[in-house]
Amino acid sequence: MRLVVFALAIFSLFVAFGGPAEAVESEPMPTLWKAPPGVERLPHAIWQADGPFRVQEIGTVRGDLRVEQGRVAVIVEDSLYSLVSASLLQYQDDLAAKGYTSVLSLVGGGTAEDLRAYLIGLYGEAEGLVGALFVGDVPYIIYELMQDWDGAGGDPAEYEDFPCDLFFMDMDGSWLDDGAGGTVTPSNGKYDGWSDASHEIEIWVGRMPVSVLPVLGTSYSLVNKYFLRNHKYRTGQLVPETPAAEALAYVDDDWGYMVSPTEGDAWCLEQVYGSGQVTAVFDVGSAPGNNATAADYTTNHLTQNYQLILLRSHGYPQGHGFYRDYQSLFEYVTSMDYRDIDPAVCFYSLYVCSGCDYTGSAFLGGTTVFNKATPGLFSWGSTKTGGMWNDDAFYTVLDEPNTFGAAFVDWFNVSHATWPALAPRWWYGMVMIGDPALIPNYDYFPPGQPQELAAFLDVGKIEVRWHSNAEPDLDYYNVYRATDGVTPAFVTAVEPPDTAYSDFDVSYMTTYTYWVSAVDTLGNESILSDPDSCTFYDVTSVAGGAPPAPIFTNRPNPLNPSTEVVFSLERSQPVALAVYDISGRLLHTLVEGVLPAGVHTFIWDGTDDSGGPAASGVYLCRLEKDGRLVGTRKLVVLR
């Protein structure tokens, strides 16, 4: 842990909710609604359908079977689709690269019950379902309860209603609106009970509720900007490979004792980011309690390049705050502050009262993920009082490594099974904003581009060879092929140390173009190698009994001090063989005219047509037959 600051005394209030000796295992202080004057806490309206439920499956993109991860449903508001379709297709391709099959479905009208029934149908199919991402205005439910935070009947029971996405993550339970034993109003459109033998969720669900964030931009611009940043993160373009990513635990007075113990906040973050990569700022006790403050957080930390921030503070949907001088003054950090600072942070754990209530305009969880210039990528927190604790069950799954969604499912199921009586008031409001299929502090960096690929003719096949990659986590190579010269199609995978592929599936007088990519053990794939092409025919049937030989190759390369360029002709035909510089300027013509069938060899001695030596560099040798370009070889001159 890089920095830990704290005061020494333990405030007696902590003991009432589980003192420091039981920091991880006991029920902590709940997050409280604390809002500026004039900001009221109002009941939630239920979802209003605009007609019958409609769903249209646009298409399925299959995941890479070698790293199969299951199927994801991408659920999109139908009126938004035409403006974000290209971004969604890129997202499906990004999921496929990591082994996820995705089905893209447009929805409109209907109720949350209709949408849940559709998800349950997908879950029951042979391909199953591991998660779903809701994009745009998608139905939700409101859950209501009476809650007693001290657990002993000493506090007056408190009413609270809130959006509850667990409804969509549960694939086999029943949800009730029967009054919860007379504690709330029955049959009012708000759920008040969940009947499930195991009380487990089966899938994860993330949301992108962009319509409530108009201050950040139009719904379609926020979606497009988000998926662009998501793609950059998934392809290693967003976060530099070095230095190592860092995380921040920023914890206000009431939870400072939860930071430093084993399985505490700093320990949890270190499971993902490593020792020395976690900064912890927190207060414990009453004198003076000025380490975690609004000014310090906004000035010294939101401006830093942390990848993840774990935040614990009281608040409301549009902000949160920190005590100063130990609870004598509460100072706010609002969504507007996040908009103005525009942090580079990717991930936020928001233990903030109602901080992820996505029914409220400019809500905190949405602002962090869809910010105006630098969107985050993912936040998780509660739509009500309460929030995530028992965090070790979450971060140890992330560390495997695993996705936020998988860690969330595991954490909820473990926590609910361990503390079933606490679950409704603490965790029924937990939601995920953004893409839960992401992994923090993950190696999204692909191997280098394979080099020196060459394709040449052999007896009954085309032989493809390339130089080996040096990455220690290299897993295999992908071989691609095209007959139009421009559209690579996957053919097979080759495991190291092999760096060759024999293509027997070839047709007479057909030209094939080949590429190779390198893939590491985490499924990151390099860009494709430079292509090479070869035309297949049976070299043993060439007139004159020409022996097997490459159709178009050269040796040696680089020149030493010259190179032999070899090609074969199936019949007598016009041929042009010439060397060009990299800008396309003709340097030297080796042959131009009609040649007979057979194998032909021409020597280039590294000079131009006037006999002058070519400078060091890369040159292109182009072969044309019957006026049509059939191949290009790179020739390297080293002086």
Per-residue confidence (pLDDT) for residue 554, from 0 to 100: 84
Instruction: Please state the pTM of the whole predicted model.
Output: 0.76
* Residue 155 phi, psi (nearest 5): -85, 150
φ, ψ for residue 168, nearest 5 deg = -85, -20
CA atoms of 180 and 174, how far apart (whole Å)? 14
Q: Any idea what the Cα angle at residue 237 is, between residues 236 and 243, rounded to 5°?
A: 75
- Go through 118-136 and write b for each residue having 16 or more CB atoms within 10 A of its CB, e for each that does not: bbbebbeeeeebbbbbbbb
Angle at which helix 219-234 crosses helix 81-97, to 10 degrees, equals 10
Return the pLDDT at 286: 52
Tokens 């991408």 belong to 74
How far apart CA 209 and CA 76 sit, in angstroms, is: 11
Q: Which residues of the chain have pLDDT under 70?
A: 1-25, 66, 151-155, 240-242, 285-289, 538-550
d(CA 337, CA 319): 9
Residue of 239, 261, 241 lying closest to 249 (CA atoms): 261
In this prediction, residue 557 carries a pLDDT of 83
Beta strands in 254-367, from DSSP E residues, in sequence order: 278-282, 308-313, 315-316, 319-324, 329-334, 347-352
pLDDT for 24: 43
Of 442, 460, 408, 119, the C-alpha closest to 272 is 442
What is the radius of gyration, based on Cα positions, of the chain? 31
In terms of Cα–Cα distance, which of 353, 306, 415 is closest to 24? 415
pLDDT 10s digits, 39-57: 999 999 999 999 999 999 9
Distances (CA, A) of 92 to 2, 62, 95, 279: 38, 9, 5, 35
First CA to last CA across the chain, in angstroms?
A: 54
CB-based contact 517:478 (threshold 8 Å): yes
Domains of the chain: 3-46+140-434 (3.40.50.1460), 54-135 (3.40.50), 446-536 (2.60.40.10), 543-639 (2.60.40.4070)
Alpha-carbon gap, residue 261 to 23, rounded angstroms = 7
Query: Residues 102, 74: contact at Cβ < 8 Å?
Result: yes
- Residue 151's pLDDT is 61
Residues 6+ apart with CB under 8 A from 196: 170, 172, 173, 174
395 and 269 Cβ atoms separated by less than 8 Å: yes
Q: Which two tokens stand for residue 530?
A: 């430079």
Residue among 30, 44, 28, 39 nearest 319 (CA): 39
CA angle 150, 152, 156 (to 5 degrees): 65
Six-digit token pair at 53?
Answer: 């439920």
Distance CA 377, CA 344 (A): 10
292 closest CA partner among 254, 348, 261: 254
